[in-house]
Structure 1
């Protein structure tokens, strides 16, 4: 029962943070939505809200990192892999009715500088995600400097597109940009002579 309560609190907090950010998520919100008694919060998380938020964020970052790593490893062609990632994010937003986007973006926008561990988690998360993208481009033969720039471009466009999709309640912008970004990556790889096949467009994959 104790583990069930702890799990409910973690899952509830994860969703609230993605919707409302750090400052918009109160302890009362977490307790009310999870149905957990107040005493259980400090039993499971002696450090209170900050400890809970840090643990939830760490778990969310690990899940995103694992998913990104698997998606990139599943395709030898990074242009195809990235195209699939855009599509998957579009589906994710549609499935949650455009209520949940990136798990750390709301925290970054809240700028909780008074929780250094949380700020470090957000910083390192983007470093990891950009790093994984960069590594996949380098493996395909893209020069280091351009691979890094492309990785930053992909990550930043995904973050912005999630906001646009949530505002418009439409994944079409994500799918449109997916084709353009995939073509750009394909061009970078073709310039190295390492890629011999084209990227399948979104229309073909639908």
Structure 2
């Protein structure tokens, strides 16, 4: 029963944070949504709301990171992998009826600097996600600097598109932007492959 209560609190908090952000989610909201007794919060989370939100956010980031890494590893062509990521995000939005987007965006927009551990989780999350994209592009032959710029473009467009899709309740903007971003990735990969033989020729024997 104790484990069930703790699990319910984690699941309820994860949903509330994605909907309302850190400051918009109160302890009463968490207790009401989870059906947990009032005294159970500090029993399971002695650090109170901060500890609970930190644990929930860390878990959400881990799940997104794992899924992104799997999506990127599933395709040898990074352009195809990125298109699938846009499609996956579009499906996610449709399935939750445009009520939920990125799990950490509401926390970032709330300004979590008064909870340093939470702010660090958010900073590290974007660093990880952008890093996974950058590494994928570099492996495909894209120069490091351009790979970083493309990774930033993909991540920032996805974050913005989730907001637009939720506001308009329409997934089509993701498909439109995916076409443009995928075209840029294809050009970058082709350019990298063309440049590699020339670079190799310049190396000393």
Give the alignment's TM-score, normalised by structure 2: 0.94
Tell me by how many angstroms 1:129 deviates: 0.2
Distance 1:58 1:192 in 2: 36
Distance 1:112 1:133 in 2: 25
Distance 1:14 1:50 in 2: 13
Match of 1:108 in 2: 108
Match of 1:121 in 2: 121
Pairing 1:1-206 to 2, within 5 Å after superposition: 1-193=1-193
Match of 1:203 in 2: none
Could you report, residue by residue, the CA deviation over 1:87-106 in whole angstroms, capped at 9, with x for unpaired residues?
Answer: 00000000000000000000
SS state at 1:191 partner: helix
Tell me by how many angstroms 1:152 deviates: 0.4
Tell me by how many angstroms 1:193 deviates: 2.3
Match of 2:202 in 1: none
Q: Which runs of 4+ in 1 moved over 4 A?
A: none
- Higher Cα radius of gyration: 2
- Structure 1 runs not aligned, ≥5 long: 195-206
**Aligned residue pair count:** 194
Distance 1:49 1:37 in 2: 15
Distance 2:146 2:78 in 1: 14
Give the alignment's TM-score, normalised by structure 1: 0.93
Distance 2:192 2:131 in 1: 20
Distance 2:2 2:80 in 1: 44
Distance 1:101 1:192 in 2: 33
Could you report, residue by residue, the CA deviation over 1:55-100 in whole angstroms, capped at 9, with x for unpaired residues?
Answer: 0000000000000000000000000000000000000000000000
Tell me by how many angstroms 1:158 deviates: 0.2
- Structure 2 runs not aligned, ≥5 long: 195-205
SS state at 1:119 partner: helix
Match of 1:201 in 2: none
